[in-house]
Structure 1
Amino acid sequence: MAKRGLGVDVLTAARQRIARVFTDFPNVYVSFSGGKDSGVLFELAANEARLRGRRLGVLIVDLEAQYQLTEDYLRQMLQRHHDVIDVYWVALPLNLRNAVSQFQPQWMCWEPGLEDVWVRPRPTEAIGDEDFFDFYHRGMEFEDFVPKFGEWYAQRNGGRMTACLVGIRTQESLNRYRTIASTSKQRHDGLAWTTMITPRSFNAYPIYDWRTEDIWAFYGRERAPYNRVYDRMHQAGLTLHQMRLCQPYGDDQKRGLWLFQLIEPTTWGMVAARVQGAEFGARTAREIGNISGRIKVTKPDSLTWEQFAMNLLESMPPATADHFRTKIAVFIRWHQQHNGYLDGVIPDDGPNDKKTPSWQRIVRMLLRYDYWCKEFAMAPPKNKGSYEAYKKRMKLRREEWGFRGTV
């Protein structure tokens, strides 16, 4: 889909979109992570709320493992706009992805009983009471918590239509571009930069068309505060487009683990001790620029690629191995149905393309520890809270498809 200009600069367009949100929605809140994009959006939304004499909700989901500089910036912005905001700084135990360990594929931020190894003390103003939200349960996934908060916020504020302002930009990834460009999603009044989450809550993306350069131009021209961790990232040699803030143990985010050692050595000590595999992941990323196996894949001459894959599965913790066996079964089943491999037997090796399945591709996926099998165009389940039910269902399907034993 070709991009079309709107005839105005991105700052004017963003202000117009935010004004439209405040006009159409009685309840408005912003999702604020402390990053450069959500910082711009918070600044613009707070200014609009102040002009209208309105209140702006602020949702901060604190995932524990973050820079102290980020916490300092959060407080600076909350103080800057204290006159127009209602703050929900959430620091509850949530399950998060750990992509640096096969033995601990998930970790729980703010896990009760582990206070002595938390990366940071829980902020005093944060919500740590597990009974505060009626929809919350311990170990809830981040992806489940956020939309349910939107529905809770709408109900808390009279059950009226509610908009969440989200600072995503299409320049950052194809998935984010698809979020905006999708024609199958339900929108508010046909606006492509909105997405319906529940019948009375929508997400709005007012800065979706901003470039990274636009973000920094805004901070420079408006003299607005920004997270000083980006200065440290610049000093560490990162380009503007490489600077990202997120929980450090995720599938893509793990590549930036080594930055904690340079930017905040004290925080790094806690990050390394908090989650299994973090120190190894950071060291490998620093030494070879890679901790995902994106290198030439070889095998012992005495083994076929299928045998090598089986050996890798046998070396994994049982739960992790079973997860990958399910993904491999789905992969083979898809090619059985769509590409003519009717007997379920795929080639041992072959080209690295999407049309040709092979055990060599499966080995590459396993060595990369591609947990959700993005290599095979798969994705995490939308509702991760039902993952246990998904595993039981897939175990039955594997037997139905004839994938027993090793796969």
Structure 2
Amino acid sequence: MAKRGLGMDVLTAARQRIARIFRDFPNVYVSFSGGKDSGVTFELAANEARRLGRRLGVLIVDLEAQYQATEDYLRLMLARHADVTDVHWVALPLNLRNAVSTFEPQWMCWDPGKEEAWVRPRPEEAIGDENYFDFFERGMEFEDFVPKFGDWYSQQNGGRMTACLVGIRTQESLNRYRTIASTRKTRHDDLPWTTMITARTYNAYPIYDWRVEDIWTYNGRDRIPYNTVYDRMHQAGLTLHQMRLCQPYGDDQKRGLWLYQLIEPMTWGKVAARVQGAEFGARTAREVGNVSGRIKVTKPDSITWEQFAQNLLDSMPPQTAEHFRIKIAVFIRWHQKNNGYTDGVIPDDGPFDKQTPSWKRIVKMMLSYDYWCKEFAMAPPKNKNSYEEYKKRMRIKTQEWGYRGTV
């Protein structure tokens, strides 16, 4: 889908989109993470709610491992707009991705019984009661919690149509651009910046066409409060496009682990102790330049790359090894069907390009700990249940394919 101008500046367009959402939806809430994009979205939405005499819901999903400056900013914004907001600050035990350890591929934020290890104390105003939401299950995935919250919020407000304002920008990634440009999704009134989530809930992305420079122009010109952790990121040498706020142990976010040592040294001690592999990952990012180890891969001369791959799999915990064996089988099967490797045997060595399969590429993927194999154009599952069903299907498929690494 080609981009086309709307004949107005992005601030005017965003205000019009938010006004449209308030006009079309009886219930509106904003997803607020404490980052720069969600902060601008919250500010614009609160101003519109105040102008209309409406209430604005606020969802904060607190993932525990975050900067103290972020918590301070959350409170600042909630106080700034307390007159028009109904807040749900959620701090419940959710399962999150840990991309810095093969032995602990997931970790649970706000894990009951591990209070002494928590990165931060649970905020007093946060929802920590696991029975507060009728849909909540301990250890559920973040991606599963969010749409269920939307349905719950709708039910709490008369079961009427509900919109969640989300501060994502297409400039940040191809996936976010696809979220807007996709013609296969169900939209509200055919508006491309909306996506149907459930029968009663939609996501709306009012600042999707903003550049990062637009975010800071708005904050500076209108003197809007922002998270001061960005000032510290700037002092650490990051560019505007590199500044991101996410849970620190994720597949992409792990590259910024080392920043905790510079920005909030006291927080860093807790971050390093909280999740297995965090300290090692931060040190690797600082010393090598890439926590994923993607600069160079080597092996002993006495073994092949395939043997090296099998040795790596044998050294992993069974559940992690099963995960990677399934992904490797899918990778080999795809090239068998599409690139002429009819016997299912791929080269042992080869270049690191997208067209040529090799066991060397597989080793690189595992040493990078690319858990969801994004290097092979694979994607994470939507939620825990869909992943378990996927594994069951793939156990059968790998046996049908005759893959020798079948689990």
Aligned pairs for 1:335-350 (under 5 A) are: 335-350=335-350
Which residue type is aligned with residue 155 of structure 2? Q
The whole-number CA distance in structure 1 between the counterparts of 2:22 and 2:406 is 56
Report how far residue 342 of structure 1 moved: 2.1
Equivalent in the alignment of 2:219 = 219
Equivalent in the alignment of 2:389 = 389
* Per-residue deviation, residues 193-234 of structure 1 (Å, max 9, x unmatched): 000101211000000000000000000011111111111111
Unpaired runs of at least 5, structure 1: none
Aligned pairs for 1:11-26 (under 5 A) are: 11-26=11-26
Equivalent in the alignment of 2:159 = 159
The whole-number CA distance in structure 1 between the counterparts of 2:352 and 2:404 is 26
Aligned pairs for 1:20-169 (under 5 A) are: 20-169=20-169
Equivalent in the alignment of 1:280 = 280
The whole-number CA distance in structure 1 between the counterparts of 2:120 and 2:385 is 27
Which residue type is aligned with residue 219 of structure 2? Y
Equivalent in the alignment of 1:199 = 199
Report how far residue 107 of structure 1 moved: 0.1
Report how far residue 394 of structure 1 moved: 1.8
Range with bigger deviation, 351-360 or 316-325: 351-360
Unpaired runs of at least 5, structure 2: none
Report how far residue 297 of structure 1 moved: 2.0
Equivalent in the alignment of 1:6 = 6
Contact 1:310–1:406, Cα closer than 8 Å, also in 2: no
TM-score, length-scaled by structure 2 = 0.98
* Per-residue deviation, residues 89-141 of structure 1 (Å, max 9, x unmatched): 00000000000111100000000000011000101100001011111100000
The whole-number CA distance in structure 2 between the counterparts of 1:16 and 1:406 is 54
The whole-number CA distance in structure 1 between the counterparts of 2:397 and 2:127 is 41
Contact 1:348–1:358, Cα closer than 8 Å, also in 2: yes
Equivalent in the alignment of 1:185 = 185
Report how far residue 4 of structure 1 moved: 1.1
The whole-number CA distance in structure 2 between the counterparts of 1:263 and 1:405 is 44
Contact 2:398–2:406, Cα closer than 8 Å, also in 1: no
Aligned pairs for 1:240-389 (under 5 A) are: 240-389=240-389
Report how far residue 403 of structure 1 moved: 2.0
Report how far residue 386 of structure 1 moved: 3.3
Contact 1:233–1:243, Cα closer than 8 Å, also in 2: yes
The whole-number CA distance in structure 2 between the counterparts of 1:303 and 1:231 is 49
Which residue type is aligned with residue 234 of structure 2? H
The whole-number CA distance in structure 2 between the counterparts of 1:353 and 1:190 is 39
Distance 1:252 1:405, change over 3 A: closer
The whole-number CA distance in structure 2 between the counterparts of 1:357 and 1:238 is 35
TM-score, length-scaled by structure 1 = 0.98
Range with bigger deviation, 341-350 or 245-254: 341-350
Contact 2:154–2:161, Cα closer than 8 Å, also in 1: yes
Contact 1:306–1:348, Cα closer than 8 Å, also in 2: yes
The whole-number CA distance in structure 2 between the counterparts of 1:117 and 1:279 is 15
What secondary structure sits across from 2:340 in the alignment?
A: coil
The whole-number CA distance in structure 1 between the counterparts of 2:140 and 2:189 is 32
The whole-number CA distance in structure 1 between the counterparts of 2:356 and 2:384 is 30
Report how far residue 311 of structure 1 moved: 1.3
What secondary structure sits across from 2:51 in the alignment?
A: helix
What secondary structure sits across from 1:385 in the alignment?
A: helix
The whole-number CA distance in structure 1 between the counterparts of 2:96 and 2:48 is 34
Report how far residue 382 of structure 1 moved: 1.4
Contact 1:144–1:385, Cα closer than 8 Å, also in 2: no
Which residue type is aligned with residue 205 of structure 2? Y
The whole-number CA distance in structure 1 between the counterparts of 2:405 and 2:23 is 59
Contact 1:63–1:91, Cα closer than 8 Å, also in 2: yes
What secondary structure sits across from 1:140 in the alignment?
A: coil
The whole-number CA distance in structure 2 between the counterparts of 1:338 and 1:26 is 49
Report how far residue 390 of structure 1 moved: 2.6
What secondary structure sits across from 1:326 in the alignment?
A: helix
Report how far residue 240 of structure 1 moved: 1.1
Report how far residue 404 of structure 1 moved: 4.2
Equivalent in the alignment of 1:401 = 401
* Per-residue deviation, residues 163-205 of structure 1 (Å, max 9, x unmatched): 0000000000010001011111111111110001012110000
Q: Aligned pair 1:173/2:197, yes or no?
A: no
